[in-house]
């Protein structure tokens, strides 16, 4: 009996150590200690979304070359039943953010997102890409036009290219939320809210009223909804 207890304790310590390493390396962990033993992957999207160019070393980043393979593994793993995405991001690389959002939207397992702190800029498509989305009351989401830096060789051509990129973003958001593309563009071009910038900042309840996010709630509500979606899928 004593040997069994020691072995269980050893296995628990090893498992906790492995989970802690996963969190340190990639902000990911498997949640499987719930009452019904559902196998849920946790994915955190924090700081700046890093794309093809590396962000400064002192920046907190989410690297898309880490996230995309992980999402592929989740889709391929028959034991994974659902995905919970926690977001607290200032935005970042548009192409990387859209790639992550499209991958999440294409998963066959149930997905739930929870915006904590901020889901700004390209973080908005990632937040709405899940099957169901939550936001805590104090979190904010910022919608603004696509920006570009550097020298413009052809101003007209660059402007048209930025319009196309923005159209891709607003189309994706409108298709995965209850907000129209027209309303998104109105929010993006608002000149009354942000100092020295164009756009709109929405707090938790405002994001729900605008149709971007499904519901105001926290971790408890997000996990409960994910378990519900998993059980509904399992009954089919």
Active-site annotation holder among 113, 120, 121, 133: 121
- Residue 136 contacts residue 115 (beta carbons within 8 Å): yes
Active-site annotation holder among 113, 144, 174, 177: 144
Q: What share of the chain is helix, strand, coil (3-state, %, to 5)?
A: 45, 20, 30
d(CA 61, CA 71): 17
Which residues neighbour 149 within 8 Å (Cβ) at sequence distance 6 or greater? Answer: none
Structural tokens at position 86: 């926690």
d(CA 145, CA 96): 17
Residue 201: phi, psi to the nearest 5? -105, 125
Q: Is 120 a catalytic residue?
A: no
Q: Is 121 a catalytic residue?
A: yes
- The residues annotated with a catalytic role in the active site are 121, 144
């Amino acid at each position: 009996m004593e040997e069994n207890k020691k072995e269980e304790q050893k296995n628990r310590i090893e498992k906790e150590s492995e989970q802690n390493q996963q969190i340190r390396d990639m902000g990911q962990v498997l949640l499987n200690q719930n009452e019904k033993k559902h196998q849920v992957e946790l994915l955190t999207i924090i700081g700046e979304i890093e794309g093809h160019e590396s962000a400064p070393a002192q920046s907190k980043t989410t690297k898309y070359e880490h996230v995309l393979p992980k999402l592929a593994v989740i889709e391929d793993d028959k034991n994974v039943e659902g995905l919970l995405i926690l977001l607290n991001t200032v935005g970042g690389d548009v192409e990387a953010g859209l790639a992550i959002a499209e991958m999440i939207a294409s998963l066959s397992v149930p997905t739930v997102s929870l915006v904590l702190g901020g889901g700004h800029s390209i973080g908005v498509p990632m937040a709405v890409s899940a099957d169901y989305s939550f936001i805590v009351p104090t979190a904010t989401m910022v919608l603004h036009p696509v920006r570009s830096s550097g020298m413009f060789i052809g101003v007209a051509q660059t402007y048209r290219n930025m319009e196309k990129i923005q159209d891709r973003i607003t189309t994706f958001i409108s298709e995965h939320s209850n907000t129209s593309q027209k309303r998104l563009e109105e929010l993006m071009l608002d000149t009354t809210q942000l100092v020295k910038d164009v756009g709109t900042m929405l707090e938790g309840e405002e994001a729900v009223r605008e149709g971007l996010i499904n519901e105001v709630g926290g971790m408890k509500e997000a996990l409960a909804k994910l378990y519900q979606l998993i059980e509904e899928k399992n009954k089919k």
